[in-house]
Structure 1
């Protein structure tokens, strides 16, 4: 996963990625200082910004509780696990949190 080339708004979408967002992701990936990072789209700035980070001791349940009920977000979660060969491993998952809205007209 890489944010290379995304600091400026994309010609197609007009959306960019804030430098702080890229740096925070790299902290999660390389330094393991975050368990998860939740990103949101800042419509005024037209860029993806960090909304919240979770410390290394936080769980998936902590992460899930941090997601909004009525709004969409993007996130990365660093999942630690042990293989059947007893090796400690880690995988980073990209998550698109999408909330469907139902509108009823009478």
Structure 2
């Protein structure tokens, strides 16, 4: 079901900067106040000399999860870099749909029906996660899903 919501050009600019320059850790998107456009809410740069150890990556991921509003929906793209148990490193652009169970029903419906409009312009996304509470965003669960390529 399409909602008629459009995507602000700033969304593409932020995403392309993230994808091409590799200096952005995540971009958070939201619906405008009139619910007519998806806009950039904030973007967060990667720390200089980013550490890809398990602990560092988990800590940074947990800081991202803490930024998500507890009672409002959001979309995000996260540049997830992590180390495999065999020692190799992976980088994935992860699309996150955050619709907390306690959020307003109308907002959840608009976000659900507008997601495809956003995904169409975000070319290069590796995986997608739908999260309804912080338990859905535990780092080890996300990493395991990415490793098996079964994110949903």
TM-score normalised by the shorter chain: which range applies? 0.7 to 0.9
Counterpart for residue 100 of structure 1: 101
Task: Name the structure with the higher helix share.
Answer: 2
Structure 2 CA distance for partners of 1:20 and 1:83, relative to 1, 3 Å:
same
Q: Distance in 1 between matches of 2:101 and 2:64?
A: 20
TM (normalized to structure 1)? 0.75
Q: 1:51 — aligned with what? A: 41
* Aligned-residue offset at 1:80: 0.6
Structure number with the bigger relative contact order (C-alpha 8 A, sep ≥ 6) is: 2
Bigger fraction of residues in strand:
1
Q: In 2, distance between residues paired with 1:70 and 1:14?
A: 23
Moved more, 79-88 or 55-64: 79-88
- What are structure 2's unaligned runs of at least 5 residues? 51-59, 105-152
Q: How many residues align?
A: 92
What residue ranges of structure 1 are gaps of 5+ in the alignment? Answer: 1-11
CA contact (8 A) 1:54 1:63 kept: no
Asked whether the equivalents of residues 71 and 103 of structure 2 are also in contact (C-alpha less than 8 Å), the reply is no
RMSD: 2.2
2:71 match: 70
Q: TM-score, normalised by structure 2?
A: 0.54
* Higher Cα Rg, which structure: 1
Q: 2-side partners of 1:40 and 1:83: how far apart?
A: 32
- Is 1:21 the counterpart of 2:11? The answer is yes
1:82 aligns with 2:83: yes
